[in-house]
Amino acid sequence: MDANTPGTSIVRHALATRLWHWVNAVSVVILLGSGLGISNAHPRLYWGRYGANFDHAWAQLPRFPAWITIPANYNLAISRRWHLLFALVFAFGLLGYMIVSLINRHFARKLALRRADVSPAHLAADVRDHFNLRFHDADDPAAYNSLQKWSYILVLFVALPMMIATGLALSPGMDAAWPWLLDLFGGRQSARSLHFVTATLVGAFIVVHVALVILAGAGNELRSMITGKWKVPEA
C-alpha cells in the first residue's frame, strides 16, 4: 500500500510545527482577547503621528463585550499584562519556528510556491475544489493546496511579522531607539491603526482556518496537529 492510498496513516506535521502551532494558538487567542480589552480604553483609530479625542478618527470601534476580552471586566492594566507577556511568547515563538523551519526545510518542502500555485487557471480550479469540499490532491494528499499555501505564506510572512512591527512602533521606548519603525508606518497612530486592522485579518484567518479544519474532518486534522499522524482521506 503506498502512502497516498486512502486510509493510510502518515506523519503529516513535524514536531516543531506541532509545538509552535499550539504555543502560537494560545498566544494569539490571548493577544486578541487582551488586545480587545486594551482597545476598550480608547476605541478610536487615527492616521498619522498623533490622535486623541479632538482629532479626526477614521474609525470608532464598538465596545467589545466581556465574553471576548481578557480580563472579562474592563481592566486596562491587566489587559496590558496579558498582552505584553504573550507578545514575547508570540514573537520569540515565531522567531524560533522560522529558524527551525528553515533548518528542517519545512518551508521549502511545504510552502515553496510551484508553477501551479501562481497559475490563475489552477487557482480558479482550487477555489472550485474548496467549494466542493475537496481539499487534497489525490496524487499528493499530504501537500498543502495552493490557497492553503498562499494563506499560510501571507499570515506567516506578512501578517504576523506586521503585528510585531506595528506593536513595537507603539512603544515609546522602541520609537526612541528605532525611529525608522515610525517612518515605516507613518507615525504611531497609523501603526496603532495597522496593528488593529492586521489583528482583524488574523482573526478572520482563524475563523476560516477553524471552519476548514472542521470541514476537512476535525478529528483527523486535530490528531495530525497533536500526534502528527494523519489518515489519508477518501479522494
Q: Which residues bind other proteins (CB under 8 A)?
A: 26, 29-30, 33, 38-39, 41-42, 44, 46, 49-55, 67-72, 75-78, 80-82, 84-88, 170-179, 182, 188-189, 192, 206, 210, 213-214, 217-219, 222
Contact 232, 6 (CB under 8 A): yes
Per-residue b/e over 159-195, b at no fewer than 16 CB within 10 Å?
bbbbbebbbbbbeeeebeeeeebbeebebbbbbbbbb
The residue with cell 522567531 is 95
Q: What is the dihedral of CA 24, 26, 28, 32, to 10 degrees?
A: 180
CB of 76 to other proteins, least distance (A): 7
* Block residue for cell numbers 506535521: 13
For other proteins, the closer CB: 82 or 144: 82
Minimum Å distance from CB 118 to other proteins?
32
CB of 115 to other proteins, least distance (A): 34
Q: Between 107 and 230, whose beta carbon lies closer to other proteins?
A: 230
Q: Kindly state the smallest distance separating residue 34's Cβ from other proteins, in Å.
A: 8
Best CA proximity match to 50, nearest among 196, 193, 200: 193
Shortest Å distance, C-beta 107 to other proteins: 26
Q: How far, in Å, are 1, 136, 220, 231, 232 from residue 7 at the CA level?
A: 10, 14, 11, 6, 5
CB of residue 71 vs other proteins: minimum separation in angstroms? Answer: 5
* Least distance between other proteins and beta carbon 155 (Å): 17
Nearest residue (CB) to other proteins, 80 versus 122 = 80
DSSP states of 76-95: HHHHHHHHHHHHHHHHHHHH
Nearer to other proteins, 142 or 174 (CB): 174
Nearer to other proteins, 53 or 121 (CB): 53
In sequence order, the 6+-apart residues with CB closer than 8 A to the CB of 9 are 229, 230, 231, 232
Phi first, then psi: give them for residue 229, nearest 5 degrees: -75, 130
Residue whose CB is less far from other proteins, 117 or 194: 194
Q: How far is CA 145 from CA 16, 100, 112, 185, in A?
A: 21, 22, 11, 33
Which lies closer to other proteins via its Cβ, residue 44 or residue 149? 44
